[in-house]
Amino acid sequence: MSESNITQALVTSLRAEIAGLAVGDRLPSARDLVRRHGVSPVTVTRAFALLAAEGAVVTRPGSGTFVAARRSSRDGSADGVADTSWQTVVLADRTMPAPSEGELLGPPASGAITMAGGYLHRSLQPTKALAAALARAARRPDAWDRAPTAGLAPLRAIFARQAGGDVGAGDVLITSGGQSALSMAFRAIAAPGSPILVESPTYPGALVAARAAGLRPVPVPLDADGIRPDLLADAFATTGARLLYCQPTFHNPTGAVLSPERRRQVVDVARAAGAFLVEDDFARHLGHGAPVPRALVADDRDGTVVHVTSLTKPASPSLRIGAVVARGPVMERLRAMRRVDDFFIARPLQEAAVELLSAPAWERHLRALANALRERCAALVTALAREVPGWLPGQLPAGGLHLWVRMSAGHDHAAVEAARARGVVISAGREYFAAEAPGDYLRLGFAATADLGELAEGARRLGA
């Protein structure tokens, strides 16, 4: 009898045996089957592999082979629901961060007014300029060629000029948006289990990225002038952290701008601690008309600052183009991670970004956007003063997309649910804190609504 026939005969015998067992029962060991059927260990291994492929058994190294959940050929399981419980053991304690409150509440109802989220409404996006840039990029003869790992040289040069100082194109790595850049930077700099200092409050996406990298966020309070250097120095000394994440310009969610005297102090404190400072400069193009401070990286010559920026906020959420600016070994590590993660960013999108940023329409868009954001911010403050005077922010932001409002104790979650019931989506403040929040807050956005009329209607509903 051929080896294949011997294997098939053993499979048939085991199928009959499995039919009389319950799910989870252990099958005889390979040694028992060799002795009972007079076959070789290789034959037993092949038989178990065939049965596993059929979904009849599951093999657990070191434990044995067990009867799997019964499956039908029509829907994959006896009751129509796939059994993925085995994954719990494999994934062990490698948990991902919990979803935000907005995700737990589900998608907004049709017709709801969105005063949450962090992207521009379509009416504020440079859609015509984006379409023209994409069309011009598509006509390039090399548009579908492989892009360099670090990104297209012209695009890197543009981001270098935006960063300022003596930053050059060689210091820039193109990324797939800002969130990807943060994830790369956190994983490149800090080992799992390490602390990472963050402003309190801070951007929830940074907290998620840090925890997904196995880092432990440690909050450092801020005030109207940004993160407090005295408490930052204490945090470095207490935790031994070697990484700080901060948003010096138009901080999300408070809108604070790190004051001129503190900008130098914060970098000096990080350098003295032998730590990196990840500067999230996502809002550089979201000012409301006033001059925007220089990026921290522009005055950093020692490689302390790792600068992260993106085009998704001022342009479109689907323009997934960002950049990391770094110097020294950390940049080499980032480039190595790029080669492991995804090789390079899609060239057509990079070409489109070059076309967009090089066209006169981009500067016109930024000027119009600044005027529109300033107008919307003022309109929302006026509407809140009329409809919900207790919800006025402590300070008006000079840039960004949101107002940060302090609530009465214990009312933030109730306000979010009540607003949703009236067709308005807002964000509770608790998800912006790495630890216990010092109070109850709301984040109210003014850039995701269709127009000023919708903002006024949203405020009226909130007043209800």
128-183, pLDDT tens digit by residue? Answer: 999 999 999 999 999 899 999 999 999 999 999 999 999 999 999 999 999 999 99
Share of the chain above pLDDT 90, in %: 69
Q: Phi/psi at 319 (nearest 5 deg)?
A: -85, 75
- Comparing 247 with 70, the larger pLDDT belongs to 247
Query: Which residue reads 């989506």 in tokens?
Result: 425
Mean pLDDT, rounded, of the chain: 89
The total of other beta-carbon atoms located within 10 Å of residue 24's CB is 10
Q: 51-64 pLDDT, tens per residue? A: 988 888 888 877 88
- Cβ–Cβ < 8 Å for 245, 198: yes
pLDDT higher than 50, residue 76: no
Select from 288, 302, 294, 296 the least CA-distant residue to 403. Answer: 288
Residue 94 clears pLDDT 70, i.e. is over it: no
In the block, tokens 């006033």 appear at 290
Mean pLDDT of 54-80: 72
Q: What is the rounded average pLDDT of the residues 306-318?
A: 95
Beta pairing, strands 195-200 & 243-246: parallel
Instruction: Please tell me the predicted confidence (pLDDT) of residue 74.
Output: 47
CA gap 253, 260 in Å, rounded: 20
pLDDT for residue 415:
85
Every domain of the chain and the residues it spans: 3-91, 101-123+362-463, 131-358
pLDDT for the residue numbered 81: 62
In this structure, of 14-28, 337-351, 410-424, 445-459, the range with the lowest mean pLDDT score is: 410-424
CATH tag for 131-358 (out of 3.40.640.10, 3.30.70.20, 3.40.630.30, 3.30.70.120): 3.40.640.10
Cβ(244)–Cβ(274) below 8 Å: no
Residue 389's pLDDT band (cuts 50, 70, 90) = confident
pLDDT over 50 (residue 104): no
State which fold the 101-123+362-463 domain adopts: Aspartate Aminotransferase, domain 1 (3.90.1150)
* Cα atoms in the Cβ-side hemisphere of radius 13 Å centred on 434: 24
| pLDDT of 224 | 92
Domain 3-91 classified CATH 3.50.40.10? no
The H or E element that residue 349 is part of is helix 347-358
Three-state DSSP at 59 gives strand
Q: What is the pLDDT of residue 107?
A: 58
How far is 53 from 64, CA to CA, in rounded Å?
16
- The stretch 5-16 carries a mean pLDDT of 91
Taking each helix axis from N to C terminus, what angle separates 452-463 and 360-387, rounded to the nearest 10 degrees? 30
